[in-house]
């Protein structure tokens, strides 16, 4: 089944600039989470800010990190709204179509040359990075006694349920692509 059409980016960033932005964002998210924990019960808004900042930096960077570790090259990052707006209800569709999200742009020749297991790991890494940080940030805040962290932990992880379904079921979903790569003959 062919992948859906790619979204045209509003802007393209080099790999170096994209990685610098995302690394800075993730370090900033870690600092905000630490500060939220330090503030204890008064750290709620810092916890939320930490999770939001990480949300904008984790997915594409996780693809890049896993891909490069497994020998897949990238050409840059695209800056655009969601790549699948049709899967959101109208209000969220409008919002997610306008949020500045990054997508890792692959070198097609490098992707073709990579073994199926490497491609599968690279595809799965974005979703897994998102889910892991959805656990870590509010989980850390909960452990540190931040007011509302338990509810935020539950809410952030409930948000992961439709993400996992979408990425597993839709034709261009990252987890579906990963499974497709692992299902190829001779992929392991």
Calculate the alpha carbon distances from 9 to 82, 97, 107, 144 in Å.
Answer: 10, 11, 16, 39
> Residue range 133-147: average pLDDT?
95
pTM value?
Answer: 0.88
105: pLDDT strictly greater than 80 = yes
The H or E element that residue 57 is part of is: none
The one-character DSSP state at 121 is H
Strand 101-106 to 74-80 pairing? antiparallel
Q: Which tens digit of pLDDT belongs to each residue from 5-56?
A: 667 889 999 999 999 999 999 999 999 999 999 999 999 999 999 999 999 9
Name the residue among 167, 164, 174, 49 with its Cα closest to residue 120.
174
Spatial contact of 141 and 58, defined as CB atoms under 8 Å apart:
no
Q: Cα torsion at 13, 82, 33, 168 (round to 10°)?
A: -120
Residue 52 neighbours by CB distance under 10 Å: 12
Q: For 144-173, where are the alpha helices, taking DSSP H only?
A: 149-169
With left for phi above 0 and alpha for psi between -120 and 50, is residue 186 left, alpha or beta? left
100: pLDDT strictly greater than 80 = yes
Q: Which residue has the tokens 């980016």?
A: 9
Predicted local distance difference test score (pLDDT) of residue 93:
80
Question: So where are the chain's domains?
Answer: 11-183
Name the residue among 162, 160, 28, 13 with its Cα closest to residue 101.
13
């Amino acid at each position: 089944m062919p992948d859906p059409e790619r979204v045209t980016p509003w802007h393209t960033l080099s790999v170096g600039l994209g990685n610098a932005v995302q690394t800075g964002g993730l370090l900033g998210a870690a600092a905000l989470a630490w500060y939220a924990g330090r503030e204890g019960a008064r750290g709620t808004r810092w916890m939320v800010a930490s999770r939001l900042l990480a949300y904008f930096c984790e997915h594409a960077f996780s693809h890049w990190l896993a891909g490069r570790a497994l020998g897949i090259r990238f050409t840059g990052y695209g800056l655009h709204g969601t790549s699948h707006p049709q899967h959101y209800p109208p209000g969220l569709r409008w919002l997610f179509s306008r949020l500045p999200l990054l997508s890792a742009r692959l070198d097609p020749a490098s992707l073709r040359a990579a073994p199926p297991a490497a491609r599968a790991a690279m595809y799965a890494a974005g979703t897994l990075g998102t889910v892991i940080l959805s656990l870590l940030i509010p989980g850390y805040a909960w452990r540190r006694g931040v007011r509302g962290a338990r509810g935020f932990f539950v809410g952030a992880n409930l948000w992961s349920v439709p993400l996992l379904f979408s990425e597993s079921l839709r034709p261009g979903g990252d987890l579906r692509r990963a499974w497709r790569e692992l299902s190829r003959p001779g992929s392991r």
